[in-house]
């Protein structure tokens, strides 16, 4: 089969190429072999390509964790699926290819209302948003929520989920007024702040009459954390999903963490065991799928590429200029 590979094992976007002679994976117990129609790009793919991402031991070297496609064959004991089913799902890796072997526990039947491109952009982002809000963040109706990188795939999902499940207010940050307008006018966020030109911590306190926010979802890290602490409410929770601005915080006011009784927790998804991931998949099926079928939850795709243009797709990801998912069609 054909699969995307990296010249020299790691490198910049120009090192990506399509290997014409990659081995077709064999589905194991409980797995499906899926002929991939489309796959979604994520920032972890860029980090993995650069050699900066610690892969879980069960991950293949081929990039990509989310996909849509058609079931080609079944391993022993694969539940709930048959050959020819249209599915989308989350894998430990291997989605940048014509075929992927993946656990049936992490696949979902594709609704007819979703295109192949939209379905390929759902698994990583909506499962991560679900994990951040509920499993880690303890979200409950009436919470005031701050979601950083609001125009990212996870941000788009989290804003819609928090709003739909009774958040008292949903604030967000982004790098441009265009992205802020998108989050407020199209996603329904309460307000947005440009972290490049505004102190979002001060702005949040103004917007909440000094109360602050109950839950913060932060994939940015170093540059945002002290401001997160500044605008967190008493007994607030800060969920760290990534370190886009860096991993080392040189100064942090511990007194605020202590006296506000804050909980700061880091979380990953790809390294979790299958049972943990399956519980999140089941929540997405229960809480999200009907909304996608009805159109109340929207999947935003920034741009669709042929996977033959994978270099350009990765360069667009690195530009930080996107609103929503970047998707590649396997043609």
- In this prediction, residue 132 carries a pLDDT of 98
Superfamily for 126-266?
Answer: NAD(P)-binding Rossmann-like Domain (3.40.50.720)
Helices and strands of the chain, counted as H and E runs: 11, 15
Read off the pLDDT of residues 296-315 as tens digits, 9 standing for 90 and up: 999 999 999 999 999 999 99
Average pLDDT over residues 260-287: 96
Would the CA dihedral through 287, 148, 302, 104 be positive or negative?
negative
Is CATH 3.90.180.10 correct for 3-122+299-329?
A: yes
pLDDT at residue 320 is higher than 90: no
Rg (CA), the chain: 20
Show contacts of 315-323: CB within 8 Å, 24+ apart: 315/13, 317/41, 317/43, 317/45, 317/46, 318/13, 318/46, 320/175, 322/151, 322/152, 323/151, 323/156, 323/178, 323/179, 323/182
* pLDDT classification of 79: cutoffs 50, 70, 90: confident
Read off the pLDDT of residues 138-156 as tens digits, 9 standing for 90 and up: 999 999 999 999 999 999 9
Percent of the chain with pLDDT over 90: 96
Average pLDDT over residues 26-34: 96
Average pLDDT over residues 104-119: 97
- Whether the full predicted model's pTM is greater than 0.85, yes or no, is yes
Show contacts of 267-271: CB within 8 Å, 24+ apart: 267/131, 267/132, 267/135, 267/136, 267/239, 267/240, 267/241, 269/124, 269/127, 269/128, 269/131, 270/44, 270/56, 270/59, 270/65, 270/92, 271/54, 271/56
Domain ranges of the chain: 3-122+299-329, 126-266
pLDDT at residue 212 is higher than 80: yes
- Cβ count near 95 (within 10 Å): 34
pLDDT at residue 241 is higher than 90: yes
Average pLDDT, the chain: 96
Read off the pLDDT of residues 160-201 as tens digits, 9 standing for 90 and up: 999 999 999 999 999 999 999 999 999 999 999 999 999 999
pLDDT at residue 294 is higher than 90: yes
């Amino acid at each position: 089969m054909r699969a995307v590979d990296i010249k020299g094992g790691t490198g910049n976007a120009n090192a990506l190429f399509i290997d014409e002679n990659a081995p077709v994976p064999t589905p194991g117990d409980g797995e499906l072999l899926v002929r991939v129609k489309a796959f979604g790009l994520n920032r972890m793919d860029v980090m993995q390509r650069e050699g900066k991402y610690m892969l879980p031991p069960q991950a293949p070297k081929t990039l990509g964790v989310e996909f849509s496609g058609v079931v080609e064959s079944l391993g022993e004991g694969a539940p709930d699926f048959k050959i020819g089913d249209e599915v989308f799902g989350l894998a430990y890796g291997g989605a940048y290819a014509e075929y992927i072997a993946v656990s049936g526990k992490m696949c979902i039947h594709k609704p007819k209302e979703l295109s192949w491109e939209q379905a390929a952009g759902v698994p990583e982002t909506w499962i991560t948003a679900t994990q951040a809000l509920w499993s880690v963040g303890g979200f409950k109706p009436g919470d005031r929520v701050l979601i950083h990188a609001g125009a990212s795939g996870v941000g788009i999902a989290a804003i819609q989920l928090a709003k739909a499940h009774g958040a008292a207010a949903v604030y967000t940050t982004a790098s441009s007024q265009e992205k802020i307008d998108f989050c407020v006018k199209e996603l329904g966020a309460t307000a947005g702040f440009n972290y490049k030109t505004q102190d979002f911590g001060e702005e949040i306190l103004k917007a909440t009459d000094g109360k602050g926010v109950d839950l913060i979802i932060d994939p940015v890290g170093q540059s945002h954390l002290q401001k997160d602490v500044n605008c967190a409410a008493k007994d607030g929770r800060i969920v760290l999903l990534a370190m886009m601005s860096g991993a080392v915080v040189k100064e942090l006011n511990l007194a605020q963490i202590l006296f506000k009784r804050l909980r700061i927790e880091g979380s990953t998804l790809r390294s979790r065991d299958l049972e943990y991931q399956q519980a999140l998949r089941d929540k997405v099926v229960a809480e999200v799928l009907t909304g996608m079928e009805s159109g109340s939850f929207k999947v935003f795709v920034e741009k669709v590429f042929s996977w033959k243009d994978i270099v350009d797709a990765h360069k667009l990801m690195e530009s930080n200029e996107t609103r929503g998912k970047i998707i590649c069609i396997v043609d």
